[in-house]
Structure 1
Amino acid sequence: MAQHRGDLSDAQWQKLQPLLPQPAPTGRPANDHRQVLNGILWIHRTGAPWSDLPERYGSRGTVSSRFYRWRAQGVWQQILNQLQHTADAAHQIDWEVHFVDSTIVRAHQHAAGAKRGIKTQNNRVTTEQLQEQEALGRSKGGFSTKIQIQAEGLGKPMQFVILPGQSHDVKGFDKLNEAAPRIKRKGRGRPKQRPRYLVGDKGYDADSIRRSLRRQHTTPVIPKRKNAKRRPRFNRGLYRERNRIERLINRLKQARRVATRYEKRAENYLAMLTIAAILIWLK
């Protein structure tokens, strides 16, 4: 099959192929993984609906169902974790300093209206609860979703979470911190998980965050707000490197399915974001 713009290169496929689920030994043969993945990447890059998928990638039902099935099975997250593990084994992850930041993406009008699920007389899901559950925030400009992300020192994504657009950075930090991957290293010892320094902007200036970081032996590099009574010194040299995570966010948003949220379900949008992170680790 001829390679088109946005398709996996041979080098990327060589890294990715061993990480994919093996086809079942019995039953109807599954469609080629590479062809289906290229179809998913076409949707991911263009932001088009599944119904517009070009015929060269196969049936839109096959491509979309594999995306949703692998999301439900946790395959996308497993691939990302394995790529990070491989990079760490090759000493390609900087554990000295990590960066944290957030960005807000607009949600398309079709992203609203997720089903509330099963309701009982004593357990009803309100509109506000549903929006919180699906990471949709309402504002004058419409619906939005906030992405909080942590990057390692070389500017590659480590973990991320999504929240309603109006959520404060402090609110989502604990959730982001808990999502840190546990990267098992060769030999004895605990899995590597925490950096020596964590750099964030003034949005993360909170005593609770500083205490949490110190408990895990991480030094916060976070400036105080102007109205703070005490403004201790911080490592300005490391803080100037924060542009690395800002550039990372721009790279993630090159995919239109990330730059604008079209998915009704938060878990599906998170899968699209995970695919964008996988592509960065494959480079």
Structure 2
Amino acid sequence: MARDLMSDEEWAFFERFIRTVRAPNGLKPTNHRLVLDGIFWIARTGSPWRDLPEEFGKWSSVYRQFRRWTLAGLWDQIMDALNESGAVPHALQMIDSTMVRAHHPLPGRALREQCPEREAAGAQGGTPRQGLGCSRGDFTTRIHLLVNAAGLPMRTEITAGQTSDYLGFDMVMADNLPTPSVLLADRGYVADSIRKSMDRRDVLPVIPMRKSRKMRVGVNRSLYRLRNLVERCFNKLKNARRVATRYDKTAESFLGFVDITSIRLWVRHLST
């Protein structure tokens, strides 16, 4: 038997959301708990879908169900419900990004033209539209992350590896999320537009200034030290090998694995 399977308590949490997503042909589901455990196994091990152990069922059926749930927005629904639950304080939030390397067969011809010094073969259309880009000579994807005071993910988005943190800020600071009182970020988010956006939302930005900035703004260093929560969250997310390295051709599938891993962090935190 595979290890790290869902507990009854964890399955009870997921089941109520899964029941709201009907199969397109109206057929009764076979064993969604087993399918979900199979998806978790792929996320944790980073293995190819075809290597899924037989105990989880036919690999192609598990893959199709994963894609069906992902495209139906199931993981987004669960993340929204967790954020709206009020189970964790949201007055303090942190934002950051990290890059993950794409597995070498992923980028297609269009991306190889952007990075002619790198060779790869595989999926055509591996363009920035799919969250793949050329950064420092490697094909990478950037994960943008917003976490709460407990260090739990609130919103994750992906872009091409060369994308700036400024663009990621606008993507994860969604209007449907609880508004923080204080937002912690590193020097990558030093921009007048970000400070103006926070002022409009009545949020205190705690962001160290670059030495090149003429106008200086003081930073509460004791408060800023709490930003390590977002770094620790990235470390936990990357324990899932399907997140630490990008094996998925489409942006939807890769972001789906990031969200799945985020949800499991929430569930395990709430159960302790």
- TM-score of the pair, normalised by structure 1: 0.84
The residue aligned with 2:129 is 133
Give, in angstroms, the shift of residue 7 of structure 1: 1.2
Give, in angstroms, the shift of residue 96 of structure 1: 1.8
In 2, the alpha carbon distance for the partners of 1:238 and 1:145 equals: 30
Structure 1 segments (4+ residues) deviating >6 Å = none
Alpha carbons 2:106, 2:126 under 8 Å: kept? no
In 2, the alpha carbon distance for the partners of 1:253 and 1:154 equals: 18
Question: What secondary structure sits across from 2:105 in the alignment?
Answer: helix
The residue aligned with 1:119 is none
Alpha carbons 2:46, 2:240 under 8 Å: kept? yes
In 2, the alpha carbon distance for the partners of 1:75 and 1:232 equals: 41
The residue aligned with 1:31 is 30
2:92 aligned with 1:104, yes or no? no
Question: What secondary structure sits across from 1:98 in the alignment?
Answer: strand
Question: What secondary structure sits across from 2:205 in the alignment?
Answer: strand
C-alpha distance 166-27 of structure 1, shift in aligned 2 (>3 A)? closer
C-alpha distance 241-140 of structure 1, shift in aligned 2 (>3 A)? closer
2:15 aligned with 1:7, yes or no? no
2:56 aligned with 1:57, yes or no? yes
The residue aligned with 2:195 is 210
2:161 aligned with 1:165, yes or no? yes
The residue aligned with 1:120 is none
In 1, the alpha carbon distance for the partners of 2:202 and 2:83 equals: 22
Question: What secondary structure sits across from 2:127 in the alignment?
Answer: helix
Amino acid at match of 1:138: C
In 2, the alpha carbon distance for the partners of 1:58 and 1:111 equals: 26
In 2, the alpha carbon distance for the partners of 1:132 and 1:46 equals: 26
Question: What secondary structure sits across from 2:226 in the alignment?
Answer: helix
Structure 2, unmatched stretches of 5+, are: 112-124
Give, in angstroms, the shift of residue 6 of structure 1: 2.1
Amino acid at match of 1:281: W
In 2, the alpha carbon distance for the partners of 1:29 and 1:232 equals: 59
The residue aligned with 1:48 is 47
Q: Deviations over 1:113-170 (max 9, x none)?
A: 3999xxxxxxxxxxxx962211111135421011111101110000121111111111
Q: Deviations over 1:192-245 (max 9, x none)?
A: x21001000001011010001110111100010012112221221210101111
The residue aligned with 1:247 is 232
Question: What secondary structure sits across from 1:147 in the alignment?
Answer: strand
Q: Write the mapping of 1:164-243 to structure 2, written as runs, cut at 5 A.
A: 164-178=160-174, 181-182=176-177, 193-243=178-228
Question: What secondary structure sits across from 1:110 in the alignment?
Answer: coil
2:16 aligned with 1:21, yes or no? no
The residue aligned with 2:122 is none
Question: What secondary structure sits across from 1:106 in the alignment?
Answer: strand
2:246 to 236, 261, 264: 261
C-alpha distance 154-131 of structure 1, shift in aligned 2 (>3 A)? same
Structure 1, unmatched stretches of 5+, are: 117-128, 183-192
Q: Deviations over 1:17-54 (max 9, x none)?
A: 22212566x96432211100001111111111110010
Give, in angstroms, the shift of residue 84 of structure 1: 2.8
Question: What secondary structure sits across from 2:179 in the alignment?
Answer: coil
C-alpha distance 27-153 of structure 1, shift in aligned 2 (>3 A)? closer
The residue aligned with 1:278 is 263
Give, in angstroms, the shift of residue 181 of structure 1: 3.9
In 2, the alpha carbon distance for the partners of 1:16 and 1:161 equals: 22
Alpha carbons 2:126, 2:249 under 8 Å: kept? no
2:92 aligned with 1:94, yes or no? no
In 1, the alpha carbon distance for the partners of 2:224 and 2:69 equals: 38
Amino acid at match of 1:80: M
1:147 to 113, 136, 143: 143
Amino acid at match of 1:241: L
In 2, the alpha carbon distance for the partners of 1:241 and 1:103 equals: 18
- TM-score of the pair, normalised by structure 2: 0.87
Alpha carbons 1:6, 1:45 under 8 Å: kept? no
